[in-house]
Amino acid sequence: MIFPSSLTPLAAWAVMMGVLLSPITRAEPTLDIELLASSCVNCHSPKSNPSSAIPSLAGKPESLLLAQLTAFQSDSPPPHTTVMDRLTRGLSHEELTALARYFSQTTTKAQED
């Protein structure tokens, strides 16, 4: 390593040790809930459509949504789960909780014709 000529070897050593021994700081990743939820909305549209086989998640209780998402991740998901067990597998508990909160606070929109 090349040091500026103004630093003595002892000062250069002190700077290096300070860098090496200082705690590593990383920015905490932020969760973009709208981006994460966008994949859910592809099937679970917030538009109200009673004839749809796939229910809207908008306005459902947070605790119910979280329980369902957690059940999908379990080793024995509910019967007739289709793809939800695979879609939730890679999500953390924090992400599941954020999704449940997001959809519980989303309003149902009337189906547009």
- Domain with 102, as residue range(s), is 28-110
> Could you tell me if residue 3 is inside a domain?
no
- pTM for this model (two decimals): 0.68
Is position 9 within any domain? no
Distance CA 30, CA 105 (A): 20
Residue 63 falls within a domain, yes or no?
A: yes
110 beta partners: 48
* Any domain includes 17: no
Q: Which amino acid is at 8?
A: T
Tell me which of 50 and 90 has the higher pLDDT. Answer: 90
d(CA 96, CA 68): 10
Residue 108 near residue 57 (C-beta atoms within 8 A): no
Q: How many CB atoms lie within 10 A of CB 69?
A: 22
Residue 113 pLDDT greater than 50, yes or no: no
Find the CATH number of the domain harbouring 102: 1.10.760.10
Residue 66 inside a domain? The answer is: yes
Of 50, 33, 5, 48, give the one whose Cα is nearest residue 101. Answer: 33
pLDDT tens, 41-85? 989 988 867 777 888 999 999 999 999 999 999 999 999 888 999
Q: What total of structural domains would you count in the chain?
A: 1
What pLDDT, on the 0 to 100 scale, is given for residue 25?
61
CA distance 42 to 37: 9
Residue 41 lies in a domain: yes
The answer to the question of residue 70 being in a domain is yes
